[in-house]
């Protein structure tokens, strides 16, 4: 018994030695203003993922609304645990040959209030901020395979994707890896977040195949006010996303803030104008999509470009993403359900290249000058990094999908998809409207349901099917 107690005491001592030094006195070097801004920014980025759930949730058919929101909500929890255990050290641990971080910070070992990430904030604040980036990135992918992926396969894929694709790519760009050494710039995630998630989403939606009835029956958004609410939360949170990446309450944060607003506003205008000119009507879905496209486009450049170039980047981003969604997808015929690739993949690609055009050391002395400021190296580095991100996302996603497919069914079958994943995967429904004689919902029943009895039992309002 005494020997067992000794072993347990030694184990507990080792455990607490790896815990953050939370009880240590806060050093005078910590700037409370910078720390407050980074923590507030982390909270702003956090709200983006539930906001994304609303943004995507409103665009699916109502039989899949809870599934779509659940995916974003569950990712918040699962990836937060993964980030603390191994994600942070894989990304920001001691560099191993430019490819991955060592496990010296696994479980946040040695990470505490006395160790500063940039000289003015505690490293734990940096951990919290970067955790929210790790959370939202795989959530973006869910828009590409919405309405057809089984939940258990989704959980396994997203976890493995975060470990083997996001963490290495984030290390290559932000953790001192080989792309950082090449000179690539990515202020807040054009390469690491938007290209990586958008291209992975495109790859996965092609591997899964098209939804049942795609191209034959309408698959319209069931709740556009919900989508606009989600877009507003994303726009709001994006200020933490981009301005927070300055890691301080300083002039650089102010520049990133106004650049983000300028690009989002310009893209909203150009998307709506192009849509209006080509289709005869401006839509709120177009306006919401345009603002996200502009925010995606400016993300890699926000801390490196001035406000006027930010307007140009956003305006062009709105046009490019519109045609990617309205024309490219139709021509190629892939079923990217909620346009994750058209907005995030294409918008991130444009933003990465645009950084190589308009970046200037007048905004950020720690950056580099782009092509329009007389230098070519940065544009070269941005192009190479973009190609690397595309190849890594495509190859990595294919490998993960093939491995997972060996052990489980990844896609819902036809009956499950027709009924809706809310019921078939979670046993819930988003709208419990009573269907009765004279009910205002009696004429908008769920068309693809197998029988009238099934429709009445589920009580689903599916007029957009």
- Give which of 260, 270, 266 is closest to 238, Cα–Cα: 260
Alpha helix positions (H), 328-449: 329-332, 340, 346-358, 377-407, 414-419, 421-426
69 with 57: CB under 8 angstroms?
yes
Q: Note whether 149 and 186 are same-domain residues.
A: yes
pLDDT tens digit sequence for 37-63: 999 999 999 999 999 999 999 999 999
Same domain, 171 and 217: yes
Q: How much of the chain, in percent, has pLDDT values that exceed 70?
A: 86
Q: What percent of the chain has pLDDT over 90?
A: 84
Rounded CA-CA distance 48/45 in Å is 5
| pLDDT averaged over every residue in the chain | 89
The confidence score (pLDDT) of residue 194 equals: 98
Does residue 321 lie within any of the structural domains? Answer: yes
Greatest Cα-to-Cα distance within the chain, rounded to the nearest angstrom: 82
Average pLDDT, stretch 263-277? 98
Range of the domain at 461: 431-465
Q: What are phi and psi of 184, to 5 degrees?
A: -65, 140
Domain assignment present for residue 80? The answer is yes
Q: Could you tell me if 448 and 327 lie in one domain?
A: no
The whole model's pTM is what?
A: 0.88
What mean pLDDT comes out for the span 126-152? 97
The answer as to whether 375 is a domain residue is yes
Residue 116 pairs with which residues in a beta bridge? Answer: 122
Is residue 454 over pLDDT 60?
Answer: no
Same domain, 399 and 438: no
How much is the pLDDT for 22? Answer: 38
Residue 407 CB burial class (10 angstroms; 0-12, 13-18, ≥19): exposed
Give the mean model confidence (pLDDT) for residues 384-413.
98
Q: How confident is the model at residue 434 (pLDDT cuts 50, 70, 90)?
A: low
| Of 9-18, 56-65, 271-280, minimum mean pLDDT range | 9-18
Asked whether residue 353 falls in the same domain as residue 448, the answer is: no
pLDDT at residue number 116: 77
Q: Find out whether 409 and 384 touch, Cβ atoms under 8 Å.
A: no
Residues 125 and 273 in one domain: yes
Tokens for 463, please give them: 């007029």
Judge if 395 and 448 occupy the same domain. no
pLDDT band of residue 457 (cuts 50, 70, 90) is very low
- Classify residue 143: in a domain, yes or no: yes
Mean pLDDT (whole number) for 438-458? 37
Give domain status of residue 4, yes or no.
Answer: no
Residue that terminates a domain, selected from 392, 407, 422: 407
Distance CA 327, CA 61 (A): 22
Q: Mean of the pLDDT values across residues 146-162?
A: 98
Please check whether residue 412 lies inside any domain of the structure.
Answer: no
Residue 22's closest CA among 159, 124, 146?
Answer: 124
Specify which residues 149 forms β-bridges with. Answer: 411
| 251 and 114 housed in the same domain | yes
Q: Does residue 364 sit in the same domain as residue 456? A: no
Q: Is residue 326 part of a domain?
A: yes
For 18-33, what is the mean pLDDT? 57
Is 207 in the same domain as 313?
Answer: yes
Rg (Cα) of the chain, in Å, rounded? 23
Name all contacts of 378-381 with Cβ < 8 Å and 24+ positions apart: 378/183, 378/185, 379/353, 380/356, 381/179, 381/182, 381/183, 381/184, 381/185, 381/356
CATH number at residue 330: 1.10.3430.10
In a domain, 15, yes or no: no
151 and 276 in a single domain? The answer is yes
> Distances from the Cα of 280 to the Cαs of 59, 266, 275, 288, 320, in angstroms?
22, 20, 7, 18, 19
Residue-wise pLDDT for 338-394, tens only, equals 999 999 999 999 999 999 999 999 999 999 999 999 999 999 999 999 999 999 999
Contact 85, 107 (CB under 8 A): yes
Run of H or E including 100: strand 100-101
What total of structural domains would you count in the chain? Answer: 2
pLDDT of residue 366: 93
Q: Do residue 197 and residue 78 come from a single domain?
A: yes
């Amino acid at each position: 018994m005494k020997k067992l107690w000794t072993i347990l005491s030694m184990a507990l001592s080792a455990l607490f030695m790896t815990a953050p030094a939370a009880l240590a006195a806060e050093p005078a070097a910590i700037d409370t203003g910078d720390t407050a801004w980074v923590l507030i920014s982390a909270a702003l980025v956090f709200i983006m993922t539930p906001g994304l759930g609303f943004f995507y949730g409103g665009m699916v058919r109502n039989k899949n609304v809870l599934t779509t929101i659940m995916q974003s909500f569950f990712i918040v929890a699962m990836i937060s645990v993964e980030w603390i255990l191994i994600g942070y050290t894989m990304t920001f641990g001691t560099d191993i040959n430019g490819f991955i971080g060592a496990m010296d910070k696994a479980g946040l070992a040695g990470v505490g209030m006395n160790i500063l990430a940039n000289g003015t904030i505690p490293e734990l604040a940096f951990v919290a901020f970067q955790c929210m980036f790790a959370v939202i990135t795989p959530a973006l992918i869910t828009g590409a395979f919405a309405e057809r992926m089984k939940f258990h396969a989704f959980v396994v894929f997203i976890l493995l994707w975060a470990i083997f694709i996001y963490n290495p790519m984030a290390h290559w760009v932000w953790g001192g890896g080989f792309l950082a050494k090449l000179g690539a710039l990515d202020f807040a995630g054009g390469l690491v977040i938007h290209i990586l998630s958008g291209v992975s989403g495109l790859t996965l939606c092609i591997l899964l195949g098209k939804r049942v009835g795609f191209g034959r029956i309408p698959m319209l958004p069931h709740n556009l006010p919900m989508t606009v609410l989600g877009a507003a939360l994303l726009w709001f949170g994006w200020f933490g996303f981009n301005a927070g990446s300055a890691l301080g309450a300083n002039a650089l944060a102010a520049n990133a803030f106004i650049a983000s607003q300028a690009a989002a506003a310009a893209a909203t205008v150009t998307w709506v104008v192009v849509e209006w000119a080509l289709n005869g009507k401006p839509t709120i879905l177009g306006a919401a999509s345009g603002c996200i496209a502009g925010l995606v486009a400016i993300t890699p450049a926000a801390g490196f470009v001035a406000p006027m170039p930010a307007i140009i980047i956003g305006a062009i981003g709105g046009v490019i993403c519109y045609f990617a969604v309205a024309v490219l997808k139709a021509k190629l015929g892939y079923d990217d359900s909620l346009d994750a690739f058209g907005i995030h993949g294409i918008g991130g690609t444009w933003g990465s290249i645009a950084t190589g055009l308009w970046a200037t050391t007048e905004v950020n002395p720690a950056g580099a000058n782009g092509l329009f400021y007389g230098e070519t190296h940065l544009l070269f580095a941005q192009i190479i990094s973009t190609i690397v991100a595309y190849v890594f996302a495509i190859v990595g996603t294919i490998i993960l999908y093939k491995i997972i497919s060996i052990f489980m069914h990844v896609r819902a079958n036809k009956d499950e998809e027709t009924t809706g994943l809310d019921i078939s995967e979670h046993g819930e429904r988003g709208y419990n409207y009573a269907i009765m004689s004279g009910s205002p919902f009696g004429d908008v029943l769920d068309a693809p349901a197998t029988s009238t009895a099934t429709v009445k039992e589920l009580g689903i309002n599916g007029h957009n099917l």
